[in-house]
Amino acid sequence: MKSPLTRRSALKTLAGTAAITAVAANLNHRLSAADKAAGPVKGNVNHSVCKWCYPDISLEDLSVAGKDIGLSSIELLTVEEIPTVKKQGLTCAMVSGVPGGITKGLNRLENHDKIVEWFEATAPKAAALDTRQIICFSGNRAGLDDEQGIKNCAIGIKRLLPIAEKNNVMLSMELLNSKVNHADYMCDLSVWGVALCEAVGSERFKLLYDIYHMQIMEGDMIATIKKNHKWYSHYHTGGVPGRHEIDDSQEIYYPAVVQAIVATGFDGFIAQEFIPKRADKIASLKQGVQICDV
C-alpha cells in the first residue's frame, strides 16, 4: 500500500521536479550557446590564440581548427613558423623569440645589443610575412629600481625604433603579473608601462595588456582600459584564478571587458591565452572566442 501524500512529501516532490527542470533548462541553455558558437563571428573583434597553450596540437591542426572557429591569427610564433598559419589564410598577430625572454629584457643595458641584433634580423622577415607586432619584455628587477628600469628600457627601445619605422612594425611590451607567474618581473603594473610609453613617445612602441595578469595585479580593468587605451596595442585573455577557461568558472566577466575594449575603437587583436582543462581543448577555445565575440 502506498504512503498517503502529505503536504511535506508533496513539497519535496515539487522541489525535486523544479530542480530537475532547472538543470534541464541550464543544460538546454548551454547546448544552445554551443550551437551558436558554431556560427560565424560578428566581426567586431579580431580573434587570435597563443599557440603555446596547446602543446599537444600541431600548429597545422590548430590553424585548420582555428580557421573554422573564426580566428584570424595564431600568435607568439617565430617568423619560421608563420608560413604554416598563412597556408590557412591566417596571420600571426604577435611575433615571439626575442633573446633573453621574459626575465632578461630591456631594463638592463647589457641586454640591448643582442636584442637589437635579433630585431634587425627579425623585423624585415616579419614585415615580409605581413606581421606587424613583435613582443618584448622589461625583464626582472633583480634589485633595479623602477625609475632606472624605465630609463634603461627607453634607451633600448629608442635604438629599436628606427628599425621598426623602416619595416612598418610595432614593438609591444607585455604587462605580466609578478604575484603568481613571473616573480620580480618589472613591467607588472599599467602605471609603470604607461610611464615607459610616455618616456619613449612613439606610436611604434605600445603595451600588450594581458587581462589575466592585470586582474591579478591591479583589477579595475575597464576603467584602466578606458583611461590608457591609446597605449594598448594588443590584449590577452585567461581565467582568474588558474589561467584556465574564461567561462563562469572564474571571476572575470569577459563580455563586459571586451565590450569596453571595442568601445575605445580598438581594431587590433584579442588573443585567447588560457590553458584548457577540458579534454576537448578545441571546444574550450571555441567557447572562449564566442564569449569574447561581442
pLDDT at 9: 45
Q: Is the pLDDT of residue 86 over 90?
A: yes
Strand order in the sheet with 232-236: 73-75, 46-50, 269-272, 232-236, 205-210, 170-174, 133-136
Q: What is the mean pLDDT of residues 196-205?
A: 98
pLDDT at 258: 98
Q: What is the mean pLDDT of residues 80-89?
A: 97
pTM of the model: 0.86
Average per-residue pLDDT for the chain: 90
H or E segment at 119? helix 112-128
Amino acid identity of residue 249, one-letter, is: S
Q: Is the pLDDT of residue 158 over 80?
A: yes
pLDDT at 18: 41
pLDDT at 11: 39
Q: What is the mean pLDDT of residues 201-226?
A: 98
Q: Which of 50, 54, 47, 48 is nearest to 77 (CA)?
A: 50
Percent of the chain residues past pLDDT 70, beyond the cut: 87
Q: pLDDT tens across 105-145, in order?
A: 999 999 999 999 999 999 999 999 999 999 999 999 999 99
Percent of the chain residues past pLDDT 90, beyond the cut: 86
**Given CA atoms 216, 70, 51, 187 in this order, what sign does their dihedral have?**
negative
pLDDT at 32: 36
Confidence bin at 28 (pLDDT 50/70/90): very low
For residue 174, the cross-strand partners are 208
Q: Is the pLDDT of residue 4 over 70?
A: no
Owner of C-alpha cell 584602466:
224
Domains of the chain: which residue ranges? 8-37, 42-292
Overall fold of domain 42-292: TIM Barrel (3.20.20)
- SS3 of 236, please? strand
Q: How far from each other are the two terminal CA atoms of the chain, in whole angstroms?
A: 59
Q: What is the mean pLDDT of residues 188-208?
A: 98
Q: Is the pLDDT of residue 280 over 80?
A: yes
Strands (E), the chain: 46-50, 73-75, 133-136, 170-174, 205-210, 232-236, 269-272
Q: Is the pLDDT of residue 245 over 90?
A: yes
Q: pLDDT tens across 270-279, in order?
A: 999 999 999 9
Q: What is the mean pLDDT of residues 247-263?
A: 98
Confidence bin at 7 (pLDDT 50/70/90): very low
pLDDT at 31: 32
pLDDT at 14: 40
pLDDT at 40: 76
Q: Is the pLDDT of residue 176 over 80?
A: yes
Confidence bin at 22 (pLDDT 50/70/90): very low
